[in-house]
Amino acid sequence: MRLPNPIERFVAKLSELPSLGPRQATRLAFYLLRTGENNMRELGDAISGMRSVKPCARCFFVHQNENGLCDICRDPRRAQNVIMVIEKETDLLSLENSGKFNGRYFILGEIAKTGILEEWQKLRLQQLKSFIQKEFGPSTGSTQAKAEEIVLGFNPTSVGDFSASLVARELEPFAKKISRLGRGLPTGGEIEFADDETLGSALERRG
């Protein structure tokens, strides 16, 4: 049975989202129809408003600032020479909620199940290297610019471990110290879903 075209289009777009198949998308479509026109208009306005959100020019987190930097990167109280490399924006939010990290972040992007970095992720790593060269370069008197510490904030899974080893190899010349989150995180767990206390312990035990 064919549904009206607006519903079919809505279901098709929702089905492209993570963890949402056609059946769940169809249920959501009918739920929204039942909630009425005002609710659908508000949802449409909220989605439209996200057009003003941009990725940070330095770390790729989201912001609405005029200077191209997110609130974390533009905060002078953060340790600029301590950088945590993470996969996703939701990982950053979880780590920030722990209140235990005062450095900067760098979002590499969600890693494939193979653990191998995509070309666009390699380009992001190159951007991080360029930033380190520019910020901590000639004025330090060192022939090789180095951040004080690069923390690899990857999930404690086999894929995360493999990816961390690849990234560590790439960034080793650019950091005085490379560390990983401590095993306060359970093996096989995900940073995004860990509680604040567990993440705080993992940050304190990093090494």
Delineate the domains of the chain, giving CATH numbers in brackets: 5-52 (1.10.8.420), 70-204 (3.40.1360.10)
Residue in the structure block whose two tokens are 């909630």: 35
Asked if 86 contacts 108 with a C-beta cutoff of 8 angstroms, the reply is yes
Tokens coding 81: 């020479």
Q: How many residues does the chain have?
A: 207
Identify which of 106, 94, 27 has the alpha carbon closest to the alpha carbon of residue 59. Answer: 106
Identify which of 168, 137, 134 has the alpha carbon closest to the alpha carbon of residue 151. Answer: 168
User: Between the CA of residue 103 and those of 73, 79, 147, 195, what are the distances in Å?
Assistant: 9, 4, 11, 20
Whole-number Å distance between alpha carbons of 60 and 24: 30
Paired sense of beta strands 62-63 and 149-153, if any: unpaired
Predicted local confidence at residue 195, as pLDDT: 67
Whole-number Å distance between alpha carbons of 58 and 65: 13
Predicted local confidence at residue 155, as pLDDT: 85
Whole-number Å distance between alpha carbons of 111 and 153: 12
Predicted local confidence at residue 192, as pLDDT: 72
Asked if 107 contacts 128 with a C-beta cutoff of 8 angstroms, the reply is no
- Bridge partners, 105 (sequence order): 84
CB atoms closer than 10 angstroms to residue 181: 28
Whole-number Å distance between alpha carbons of 124 and 83: 14
Predicted local confidence at residue 136, as pLDDT: 82
Predicted local confidence at residue 205, as pLDDT: 62
Predicted local confidence at residue 198, as pLDDT: 67
Maximum pairwise Cα distance, the chain? 72
Angle at 172 between CA 169 and CA 177, to 5 degrees: 130
Taking only the tens of pLDDT, the chain with its 207 residues reads 788 899 999 999 999 988 889 999 999 999 999 999 999 999 999 999 999 999 999 999 999 998 899 999 999 999 999 999 999 999 999 999 888 899 999 999 998 888 889 999 999 999 999 999 988 876 545 567 899 999 999 988 888 889 999 999 999 999 999 998 866 555 556 777 766 666 666 666 676
